[in-house]
């Protein structure tokens, strides 16, 4: 196995397998999650991007200061391969961001898959399959979004956290996108992001460890590669770059990327305008 990249939020320790998917294996130590991923998944604050590993067989990862030990086999931890998950404060350019907001808005609505939040809550609202559970879920989405819009952020987070289907529920993806948008608003929203992070931590039982990890990083300004690429495009890129990266984000998962992008757009509209 060869390590191509590793995240800047990895914590030393021994991690045991939690779950496996086609290109990813997740490992935990206590409440800390580390993910061993194929390069197609991309870099992240808690990712170890590697080639030559079998997702179906790895059981244990040990993280040390200068090596990774995967099922007893040591791999070099070379500092130049560390992924930086933060955006430089120098990137934050509000005028450029305002100029690019209509582009991401257009992409979010054009590329959103069926049953994603842009379609459920956006300008041309559609309905989930008509079941009692989905009726309750849709009302919860609407109430959560309305709470965020009027500034009742803790209430909105509690309503949205864990709401929806999938490995990372739609409500969680929306909150992650919203906090990413707040980050682009600069230091004046740092305290609000921390309030949201505290609300999520206090209600962590409402969602799973994968979602909670993603949310914790986004609240604290640590971003996965696809997210960081989109944020950089929004604050420094041109029309084609924003469009390409927004479309790529909307294609992530069944609805996850679109739900995240909708949360990002809503935050930009709510607090930046």
Torsion of CA 230, 235, 241, 244, to 10 degrees: 30
CB neighbours (10 Å) of residue 110? 12
CA–CA distance, 262 with 211 (Å, rounded to integer): 17
Distance CA 27, CA 146 (A): 36
CA dist 244 and 232 (Å) reads 12
With CA atoms as reference, report the closest residue to 8 among 77, 83, 87. Answer: 83
pLDDT digit string, tens, across residues 126-152: 656 666 667 888 889 999 999 999 999
pLDDT at 129: 64
Average pLDDT estimate for 35-51: 96
The two tokens of residue 194 are 């921390």
3-state helix, strand, coil split of the chain in percent (to 5) is 50, 15, 30
**211 neighbors 169 (Cβ within 8 angstroms):** yes
d(CA 224, CA 238): 21
pTM: 0.93
Alpha carbons 236 and 48: distance in angstroms, whole number? 28
pLDDT for the residue numbered 136: 84
Summarize pLDDT for 74-127 with one digit per residue, the tens: 999 999 999 999 987 666 778 888 899 999 999 999 998 888 898 888 765 565
* Per-residue model confidence (pLDDT) at position 9: 97
- Work out the pLDDT band at 198, boundaries 50, 70, 90: very high
For 221, other C-beta atoms within 10 Å of its C-beta total 18
Average pLDDT, the chain: 91
| Other residues' Cβ atoms within 10 Å of the Cβ of residue 155 | 16
pLDDT value of position 206: 85
Contacts of 181 (CB under 8 A, 6+ apart): 263, 264, 265, 266, 267, 268, 271, 272
| Per-residue model confidence (pLDDT) at position 203 | 85
């Amino acid at each position: 196995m060869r390590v191509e990249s590793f995240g800047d939020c990895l914590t030393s320790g021994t991690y045991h397998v939690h779950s496996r998917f086609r290109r990813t294996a997740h490992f935990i130590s206590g409440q800390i999650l580390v993910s061993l991923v194929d390069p197609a998944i991309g870099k992240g604050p808690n990712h170890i991007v590697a080639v030559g590993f079998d997702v179906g067989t790895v059981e244990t990862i040990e993280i040390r200061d200068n090596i990774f030990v995967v099922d007893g086999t040591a791999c070099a931890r070379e500092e130049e391969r560390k992924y930086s998950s933060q955006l430089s404060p120098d990137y934050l350019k509000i005028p450029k961001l305002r100029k690019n907001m209509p582009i991401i808005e257009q992409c979010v609505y054009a590329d959103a898959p069926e049953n994603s939040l842009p379609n459920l809550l956006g300008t041309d609202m559609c309905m989930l399959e008509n079941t009692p559970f989905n009726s309750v879920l849709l009302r919860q989405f609407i109430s959560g979004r309305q709470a965020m819009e009027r500034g009742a952020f803790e209430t909105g987070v509690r309503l949205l956290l864990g709401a929806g289907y999938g490995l990372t529920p739609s409500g969680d993806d929306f909150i992650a996108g919203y906090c990413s948008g707040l980050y682009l608003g600069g230091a004046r929203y740092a305290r609000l992001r921390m309030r949201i992070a505290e609300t999520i931590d206090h209600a962590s039982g409402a969602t799973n460890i994968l979602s909670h990890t993603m949310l914790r990083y986004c609240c604290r300004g640590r971003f996965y590669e696809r997210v960081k690429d989109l944020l950089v495009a929004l604050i420094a890129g041109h029309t084609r770059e924003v469009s390409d990266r927004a479309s790529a984000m909307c294609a992530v998962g069944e609805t996850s990327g679109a739900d995240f992008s909708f949360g990002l757009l809503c935050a930009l509209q709510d607090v930046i305008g």
